[in-house]
Amino acid sequence: MTAPSAGQRPARVLPAEPRLAERARAQRSTRRRWFLRRCAEALVVLLPLVALAWVLLVSTWVIVDRVEVVGTGRLTVEEVTAVAAVAPGTPLARVDLDRVAGAVSRLPAVADVQAHRSWPGTLRLNVTERSPVAGVPSAGGVTLVDREGVPFASAPVLPDGAFRLEVAQVGPQDPATLAALQVSRELPATLRAQVQALQAASPSSVVLLLAGGRQVVWGPPGDAAAKAAAVEALLKLPGRVVDVSAPGVAVRRDSP
């Protein structure tokens, strides 16, 4: 070993065990500083999120202060809001939109409803009401029926553009109801304008009752263009009944 030259301080030599202890302390200090830095970074991210969650879910700053109902005509705003059952003061973020929409959609006159939040405090309900295409005679007038066969409201008289529907059991699952409604959609406008009522004892026996007391035995839905052309030609001739229910055959007679 070379002796230190004059004026040089001898190098400090530590035993192995103290050196290892000092290195361990340095590593612990480094890990501690890393952990504290990570915690600080996490707090910077989490604290605003916690504050936002508190504002939205707990505080009274963004509560429901208004329920806005759009699209109603037959229903009143009060009817819709009563069924929605959202208490004033409920935090807007905690409103269950699916529950609200489901409750409102169970109103017979509602075809569809969408519930939305409009910050800071408005719950918006966009309602689509059913439109009547037919009416089934009832004791108080008629029961209105939409294009899907759903009876949804009562009225004293048929609204403009709707026809009288005569079936045994009206409903969206009734084959005769669905057949009659399909036939009504298939009719050309000129023939549709003459129809006062549709009868359907079964899905294959739809009958059109026309103005003036004439009848068209239409049969099942389908083949509308050919049937309508035959009906248009035969209605120019005498006779109360036109029968186009058999494919490719058109018959005119004086009685049902």
- Per-residue pLDDT tens, the chain, 256 aa: give them: 455 555 555 555 545 566 666 776 766 667 666 766 666 565 555 445 444 444 444 445 458 889 999 999 999 999 999 999 998 888 888 899 999 999 999 999 999 999 999 988 899 999 999 999 999 999 889 999 999 999 999 999 999 999 999 999 999 999 999 999 999 999 999 999 999 999 999 999 999 999 989 999 999 999 999 999 999 999 999 889 999 999 889 999 887 6
**Global pTM value:** 0.72
Q: What's at 149, amino acid-wise?
A: G
Residue 208 in contact with residue 245, Cβ under 8 Å? no
Q: What's at 76, amino acid-wise?
A: T
Quote the tokens at residue 209. Answer: 């009752």
List the one residue out of 245, 83, 102, 111 whose CA is nearest residue 172.
111
Q: Is 17 helix (H, G, I), strand (E, B) or coil?
A: helix
